[in-house]
Structure 1
Amino acid sequence: MGELKKESVKRFERDELNEPEAGQHPEAVARSAVGQASAAWSAFDADQLWKQRVRQFWGRILPYLRYVMQSGVAVLFAFVFITGTAYYANFLERIPVDFPVRELSLLLLAPTVAYMAYRTFFQPADIVFLLRSEQQLGAYLKRSIKYSLRTRLLLLLVVWSVLWPLYNRGDIEPKGYAVMLAGLILIKLVAAYGAWKERHMEDPANSKVSRVLRYGWAWGATACWLWLSVPLAIVCTVAAGAAYVGWLLTRRTLRFPWEAHIQAEEMHTSRIYLLLSGFVDLPTMTERRYSRPWLNQVGDRYAFQRETAYHYLLAKTFARSELVSILLRLNVLGLILMLWLQHSTWSVVIYGLFMLIIGIQIKALATYHRYDVWQTIYPLSLQMRQRAVLHLSTWLHLLSGLVLAVPIWIGTITWQYKGVVLVVGLAFVIVMRLRLRRTHQRDDGED
């Protein structure tokens, strides 16, 4: 019995250490191990993994959309869509002669054509567990490219379809719907190729330069299709596009940029969570921080004062957060629309809509440093943090309201109407401040 036990132990140790049995050649053992490993990795299904990742992502996002709908935003957007459609149809019947149709088309089409973000749904752990399957991820990446291109091309189709009636009626020499759409899709595909090459570039400086070239080329090519004849636009687009693609091909690239894929995915996910955080309390996500030297002075007047410690901390955090980019984009887009409607009474509807959206986004300030451990160490009360959040959010909301109101104040509408717009803006600031205070008090009480 003892000899049998010793033999079992020796066999177990030999199997664990992959030692050959007596009479078995070591090369045969090596070939057998390689064959077993190859069979295991050949069972890897990239398509199934991609479907699983997409399902997991939307499984995390979709439950929160119910709270967004319950907040009344769906009703508001339905109202804005109906009234906007009615106003748009009415405007098409009496387009001013000097209306800048091409300029407006360029402002709406060029960003849609130039912007491209690829969703790979990679996770930080994949750089370890999927590294050996890197050669088999071709099908996975093809699905990601098709998924990303499909949504961006659909957005371009929607924007051009909505803009087409205005362009067709307001432009002096309008081009055909299908001809312009084909040109825009061509520009979009080249820009998408450039965005994919940017992610693979070995030198980050080349990636930044390539991004600038991509946006510059997309804006220029779109302008060519709006201002030039079709043959001349084709020549300019092909020539400039060939030079742009040639520059891309001369840059050194990585075969599989794991870090770039993962970083882009985390950034995209954090933006979605930041957007949803205005409606529901979300789990803490890693947010990308940005270096903005032009905002270094923000919050410095609160430094070295115990009473304004949270003011200083929140101001510095806000200056490096994604929220700055979101608010800037909303203000720029709102300014463009307000300049377009500055002589119309419909401007108050657009003004109120942007004040509501901006107020919802500013609510994300309440999540900054909410769960920091050092709050329980330093002698700072939660009321100080609440006052700091209300102070910064109110000033940001008020500043946005003043910026968006500038086109109305320089417009030709009556002074009474201008006063109504001012009252509407102040009402939104006060209401959003009261709602944020109530939410903040309830959350701090639960914590």
Structure 2
Amino acid sequence: MNTSELFYSRMKSAWTYAMRIIRVIIGGGGTPLILGIVLIALYFAYQQFLAWVPADFPIDFMLTIPYTLLVTSSRVRTWVKPADLVFLLPVETQMKPYFRASLTYSAAVHLIHLGILTLLAYPLFFIMWKSNLAIVLAYLFFTLLQVYNVLIEWWEMRLTVSLARNKIRMVTAGRFFLNGGTVFFFLNQHAAGVLGTAVGLFALGWYLRRQVPVIPYPWHLMQAQEQNIRTRYHALAGMFVDLPRLKTPVRKRKWFTRFLPHWSTQTASAYLFWRAFFRKSELFPISIRLIIWAMIFIAVFPNRWVVFAVYLGCVWMFSVQLPSLAHSQQYPIIHKLYPLPPKQWKQGLRSIGLVTIGIQTLSIALFAWLAGAMLLTETMLLIAVGGILTYTISYFYLPRSKQQKMA
């Protein structure tokens, strides 16, 4: 049995489905226009930032962060399905070609991401080194580092069948610091530092490789990771087009849900929406990631126009996803056994919109002020605009969208 053909068949099917969604997004409504406006605003802000960069600006440190994150998060895409735990388990000893193809595909995708990052960072590299040859050599070095991290990521996954997850997390943390040191020393052209951290990274990989068992493969982990990847991509595409819901895992998150009676204003709909927000939907991690990425953009490009573009972009990307909490498929049993009046459903969605969007707009505005991207008066004006947006979205957009989702 040539299991590599099975991998490429699944890859082709997944990309065919993804391309159909991308074509719908490109040809749908004002999405291309909004994205184009955001990209143009970021382009002009990037140009202003490059013109502003002083001679003593720590470009090496700024580039170390994205490159370290990119090479460390070398996720392996396996396309393992729930049924594989039954049907592929008997041929587990023949699955090596399948996972070899998976590693090849994953490495290729990560190298594309690495190339895009290098193209975006090219002006900064040129300011720092003034040499195109040095930039090419840097990309080749980071390519080797990226491919090696894909292998280590795969060995870490394989070791979850014999080691506790907290030990694997410690290994990943160590790999993150070794990658960060390697990237930083390379950008500073510190040969001894690069050699030391690279030897440490090689020793870590060599040790992990010796500990990896031949079988079994971590089927449950691969299936769970694949489900999480699909859910994230589905949530991202759902910002632009309506898609059928995926089965998402339920996470306890007791440290949030214990406060629900206070946040839900004692209404069943609000309690239900908050519970789904924290435990089942992808909206909670999406909201956190949007705030983090907004802060990174503002810290790297401290410009008022960047702040405004990122501000509007984050609010828009989160607001178009929020009505999915009110989807009738989210609570099929409750709709049958405990029907609530439409007014209460609207009130519940309105309350969660006021809190989540309000926190998002306020945190981004305050961070822009702390980062020096805006003056205090401009920050207060931005907070006022955020309050108007929060009220408008919560009281007019969300209730109207709820009627379509609950239909």
2:386 is the counterpart of 1:425 = yes
Candidates 181, 203, 216, aligned match of 1:220: 181
Q: Which has the higher contact order (CA 8 A, sep 6+)?
A: 2
2:244 is the counterpart of 1:289 = no
Q: Is the 8 A contact 2:290 2:314 kept in 1?
A: yes
Task: Structure 2: state its 5+ residue gaps.
Answer: none
Q: 2:5 maps to what in 1? A: 48
Candidates 268, 271, 293, aligned match of 2:229: 268
The structure with the largest alpha-carbon Rg is 1
Sort the Cα spacing of 1:119 and 1:391 in 2 relative to 1 into closer, same or farther, 3 A: same
Q: How many residues align?
A: 399
Matches within 5 A, 1:69-80: 69=26, 70-80=28-38
- Counterpart CA distance in 2 for 1:337 and 1:194 is 29
Q: Is the 8 A contact 1:99 1:170 kept in 2?
A: no
Q: 2:219 maps to what in 1? A: 258
Q: 2:279 maps to what in 1? A: 320
C-alpha offsets along residues 329-371 of structure 1, whole Å, 9 cap, x if unaligned? 2211211222344454443223222222232343443348634
Candidates 382, 386, 398, aligned match of 1:436: 398
TM-score with structure 1 setting the length: 0.79
2:15 is the counterpart of 1:58 = yes
Sort the Cα spacing of 1:418 and 1:259 in 2 relative to 1 into closer, same or farther, 3 A: closer
User: Sequence identity, in percent?
Assistant: 21
Alpha-carbon shift at residue 136 of structure 1 (Å): 3.1
Q: 1:148 maps to what in 2? A: 106
Matches within 5 A, 1:84-163: 84-163=42-121
Alpha-carbon shift at residue 57 of structure 1 (Å): 2.1
Alpha-carbon shift at residue 241 of structure 1 (Å): 0.8
2:373 is the counterpart of 1:373 = no
Task: Structure 1: state its 5+ residue gaps.
Answer: 1-43
Alpha-carbon shift at residue 296 of structure 1 (Å): 4.4
2:335 is the counterpart of 1:386 = no
C-alpha offsets along residues 79-126 of structure 1, whole Å, 9 cap, x if unaligned? 333343333234323422343322321222211111122222221112
Alpha-carbon shift at residue 159 of structure 1 (Å): 0.5
Moved over 6 A (4+): 171-175
Secondary structure in 1 matching 2:244: coil
C-alpha offsets along residues 118-150 of structure 1, whole Å, 9 cap, x if unaligned? 222221112222233333333222222111111
Q: 2:25 maps to what in 1? A: 68
| Worse-superposed segment, 212-221 or 194-203 | 212-221
Q: Is the 8 A contact 2:182 2:198 kept in 1?
A: no
TM-score with structure 2 setting the length: 0.86
- Aligned residues: CA RMSD: 3.0
Alpha-carbon shift at residue 175 of structure 1 (Å): 9.2
C-alpha offsets along residues 16-36 of structure 1, whole Å, 9 cap, x if unaligned? xxxxxxxxxxxxxxxxxxxxx
Sort the Cα spacing of 1:350 and 1:302 in 2 relative to 1 into closer, same or farther, 3 A: closer
Q: Is the 8 A contact 1:109 1:160 kept in 2?
A: no
Q: 1:181 maps to what in 2? A: 139
Sort the Cα spacing of 1:418 and 1:245 in 2 relative to 1 into closer, same or farther, 3 A: same
Q: Is the 8 A contact 1:122 1:262 kept in 2?
A: yes
